[in-house]
């Protein structure tokens, strides 16, 4: 005869539960990660409005300087190598000087190089977020340390631009297409920046630029290497800016960039046997834009509102375009066998000054968001204490 064993009582232990100390640590980490968002602002953005007016601004009119070759985005060794810069700042500058550059900007992350001379152009790259929403602070006076490390709304992006702008003469949006850092929606609404990278290394994308221009934001283009290693052929002397300024001093370069007295160049690795195409003239008269070059015949593309290709003048050394009544701006791109050249746009305006859209802070919504953040944080702390 078999006896049935008495059923065993299974006691619930601590298996699968989170120790109180770990829960407390996780809460602290979560609050620290979320803390920057307590500084959020809510902005009212101006509605996108195309350029208009009976007058035209030509950034290449009455140039009185000399054409200087410049790169504004390159990295030396900083932060004990954490930012992947392979050479010292001095080595990077010397490498550009040896190639004939007049301005060799060092733009280390959150660091203004102090080794480039009193009259050099102070630049740094701002941003340490996962979305690669970075800005070049050109003519920087101090480093802005604040950023939103994770998700960013358009209002978050605007706050960062405003903060960087307070400590620099010019703000350029760096590599806006990388990870879709700045969407078309962003670029139609964000304000306070003067420049945008059209070329970053070997990658060119003018769509973000056209999104800004089509919304009435008079911003100028840049082309930069964004190199971390001067021995990398795809990130060294492949993209640069030709700036018309009296000298390479910081003040003259900033004034020229602000006025759009520059154009951007991307070196192509095709047709190395072809003659190099050089820009020789930009004239705007009687609503007609005429561009002349020397060297290999090229294709001249003229782009306008909403990034629409208006016309192409193929295989020539002279390209021209006459504004129609519907044209709000026109920018030219020259496709040559060995180079792409991006010119700043001719834009319509009222003859007094270019439009400067400004985003304003919605104070009521801003404080509501901040109070909600404090309330949620307080509730989390109280719940954790109650469970301890």
pLDDT tens, residue by residue, 160-186: 999 999 999 999 999 999 999 999 999
Per-residue pLDDT at 21: 75
**d(Cα 20, Cα 360) in Å, to the nearest integer?**
44
Per-residue pLDDT at 385: 65
Helix axes 20-34, 363-387, angle to 10 degrees: 170
**Least reliable range by pLDDT among 19-23, 96-100, 337-341, 344-348:** 19-23
> Across-strand partners of 303?
309, 331
Positive or negative: CA dihedral 76, 78, 84, 86: positive
Highest-pLDDT range among 8-12, 78-82, 222-226: 222-226
148 pLDDT above the threshold of 50: yes
Q: Give the pLDDT band of residue 371 (cuts 50, 70, 90).
A: confident
27 pLDDT above the threshold of 90: no
Select from 240, 209, 205 the least CA-distant residue to 223: 240
Select from 161, 160, 136 the least CA-distant residue to 71: 136
Select from 285, 296, 304 the least CA-distant residue to 338: 296
Per-residue pLDDT at 386: 63
| pLDDT tens-digit series, residues 6-17 | 444 444 444 456
Residues in the chain: 388
Per-residue pLDDT at 208: 97
**d(Cα 212, Cα 182) in Å, to the nearest integer?**
11
Structure tokens at 335: 């496709």
Per-residue pLDDT at 211: 98
Structure tokens at 23: 């829960």
Structure tokens at 337: 């066998």
Structure tokens at 65: 């300087």
To 5 degrees, how large is the angle CA 89–CA 229–CA 182? 95
Note the Cα 275 to chain centre separation in Å.
32
Per-residue pLDDT at 33: 73
**Site of tokens 């009193």:** 118
* Residues 174 and 197 sit within 8 Å (Cβ to Cβ): yes
**d(Cα 222, Cα 261) in Å, to the nearest integer?**
11
* Residues 187 and 211 sit within 8 Å (Cβ to Cβ): yes
**d(Cα 183, Cα 214) in Å, to the nearest integer?**
14
**Least reliable range by pLDDT among 48-62, 114-128, 243-257, 369-383:** 369-383
Mean pLDDT within 127-133: 95
| pLDDT tens-digit series, residues 273-331 | 999 999 999 999 999 999 999 999 999 999 999 999 999 999 999 999 999 999 999 99
Per-residue pLDDT at 375: 80
Per-residue pLDDT at 3: 47
350 pLDDT above the threshold of 90: yes
């Amino acid at each position: 005869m078999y006896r049935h064993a008495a059923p065993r009582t299974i006691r619930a232990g601590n298996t699968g539960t989170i120790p109180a100390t770990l829960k407390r640590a996780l809460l602290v980490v979560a609050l620290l990660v979320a803390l920057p968002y307590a500084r959020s602002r809510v902005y009212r953005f101006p509605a996108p409005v195309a350029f208009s007016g009976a007058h035209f601004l030509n950034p290449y009119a009455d140039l009185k300087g000399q054409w200087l070759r410049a790169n504004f985005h390159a990295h030396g060794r900083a932060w004990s190598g954490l930012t992947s810069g392979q050479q010292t700042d001095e080595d990077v500058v010397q490498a550009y000087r040896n190639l004939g550059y007049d301005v060799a900007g060092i733009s280390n992350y959150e660091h203004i190089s102090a080794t480039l001379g009193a009259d050099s152009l102070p630049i740094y790259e701002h941003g340490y977020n996962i979305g690669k929403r970075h800005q070049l602070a050109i003519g920087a006076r101090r480093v802005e340390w604040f950023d939103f490390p994770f998700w960013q709304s358009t209002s978050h992006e605007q706050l960062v631009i405003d903060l960087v702008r307070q400590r620099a003469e010019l703000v350029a949006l760096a590599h806006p297409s990388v990870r879709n850092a700045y969407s078309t929606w962003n670029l139609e609404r964000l304000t306070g920046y003067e420049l945008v990278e059209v070329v970053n290394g070997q990658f060119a994308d003018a769509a973000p630029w056209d999104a800004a221009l089509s919304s009435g934001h008079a911003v100028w283009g840049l082309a930069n290497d964004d190199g971390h290693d001067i021995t990398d052929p795809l990130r060294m002397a492949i993209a640069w800016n030709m700036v018309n300024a009296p000298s390479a001093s910081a003040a003259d370069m900033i004034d020229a960039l602000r006025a759009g007295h520059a154009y951007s160049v991307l070196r192509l690795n095709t047709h190395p046997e072809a003659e190099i195409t050089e820009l020789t003239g930009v004239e705007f008269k009687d609503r007609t834009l005429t561009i002349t070059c020397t060297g290999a015949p090229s294709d001249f593309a003229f782009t306008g509102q909403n990034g629409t290709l208006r016309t192409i003048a193929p295989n020539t050394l002279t390209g021209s375009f006459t504004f129609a009544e519907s044209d709000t701006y026109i920018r030219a791109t020259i496709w040559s066998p060995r180079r792409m050249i991006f010119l700043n746009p001719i834009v319509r305006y009222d003859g007094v000054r270019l439009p400067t859209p400004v985003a304003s802070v919605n104070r009521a919504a801003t404080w509501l968001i901040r109070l909600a953040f404090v309330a949620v944080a307080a509730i989390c702390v109280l719940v954790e204490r109650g469970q301890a």
